[in-house]
Chain A
Amino acid sequence: MQALVVDDSSAMRRIQQKALESLGWQVRCAANGREALVTLDSMPVCDLVLTDWHMPEMDGIELCAQLRRDARYLKLRIVMVTSDAVLDSVETALAAGANDFLMKPFSAEALSERIAGIFGG
């Protein structure tokens, strides 16, 4: 299974990449929404995008919206990751096309449980 981690913090990218790899995922990374679109274009297949919300150039919400307008990514699962621990943000993320939502900070277990929930593990 292929995943793309999108976050403007290189430390956060590394942590999430490591967590996903330990679950058996192959992981690519991007530093913002615009870079994510370019990376996705070069990936033959991608099953999961784990994206931060607040990023320069293009944020996670705009990335979701763009992906959901593209027929190639209809089956792609998107999890929004943010430190905004408010229900309004959850609603906004789902409305933009995210499948699920994780609030920072989160444990490797929480990520693993979330992915199991999405992919029926």
Chain B
Amino acid sequence: MKRECGVVLADEQQYLLDSRLGPVARQHGHASLTELVETVCSSLPSAPVACSVVDALTTHESLFFRDQAFWRQLEEHILPQLIAEADGRPLRFWSAACSHGQEPYSLAMLLEEKWPHVAATAQILASDVSPLAVQRGREGLYSMLEVNRGLVATRLLRHFTQESGSFRIQSLLRNRISWFAYNLLGTDVGPSRCDVVLCRNVLIYFSDRDRAFTLERMESASRPGGYIALGGTETTPRPSLAPGWYQLPTTPIRGFP
């Protein structure tokens, strides 16, 4: 479980295994959790049963424009500065724990509304440890309950189309995002030279060691002077600009002396 999604459960959280994995075991025709675990251990990470387990064990609480203060900081300070400094160079963003896509789509909406010329060339990368969550993000289809969370009516009208009882984000924004499944604690090499790496409310689920590893990985994904965004209560050894916001030094980091 830790290898595939980095989630570490305390002894008193064992009940989560039953409540979250029980339905997955039944869905895949297994009589017990032990049988499910044996199947997952002997299957490829991309196998449907393994994807279901990762999806069930990770948290997908997400909403559009989560945390107003965070987005205000991005809109009023970080983006204007990055855009001015980039001088026409395409900006690159990585939403490294994108869940069902609300975060990268919020970013795509904001860019399109305020800086359409920047939005047209920007690269937005979106990944999550759960391939099923990534698939949902790629589809960009949200229920009424999901669009109620954080999405003002003017944005709903501008960026979504109706599909029976659900709402789909318009293809213009969908096509601007590159989606991939990615384990922050795995061995795959991640993106590099990003202007902003967003990894909010993820480290809280990790052990101290995995937290340090993930931070290092996020720093290596950023360009010098780039920004890392964490959840409001998550901290790094670097001084923060505003709750959750960190900037890397403008000189390249050359590893440990």
Binding site for B on A (CB under 8 A): 85-87, 90-91, 93-94, 98-103, 105-107, 109-110, 113-114, 116-118, 120-121
Contacts and interface: CB of A to CB of B under 8 A. Distances in A.
Nearest to B153: A101
Nearest to B167: A87
Nearest to A90: B153
Contact of B162 (A86, A102, A105, A121): A86
Of A85, A102, A114, A121, the most chain B CB neighbours within 10 A belong to A85
B68 interface: yes
Contacts of B157: 87, 90-91, 94
Q: Which 9 A-B pairs have the closest CB atoms?
A: A101-B153, A85-B144, A110-B148, A87-B162, A103-B144, A106-B148, A113-B150, A100-B153, A90-B153
Given A113-B63, A113-B150, A90 B156 contact: yes
A54 to B, nearest CB: 17
Contacts of B152: 100, 114, 117-118
20 contacts: A85-B144, A85-B165, A86-B162, A87-B157, A87-B160, A87-B161, A90-B153, A90-B156, A94-B153, A100-B152, A101-B153, A101-B156, A103-B148, A107-B145, A110-B150, A113-B150, A117-B65, A117-B150, A120-B68, A121-B68
B154 interface: yes
Nearest to A88: B162
Contact of A98 (B65, B153, B167): B153
Contact of A106 (B145, B162, B167): B145
A109 B149 contact: yes
Nearest to B149: A110
Contacts of A120: 68, 72
Contacts of B160: 87
A113 B156 contact: no
Contacts of A109: 149
B63 A87 contact: no
Contacts of A102: 148
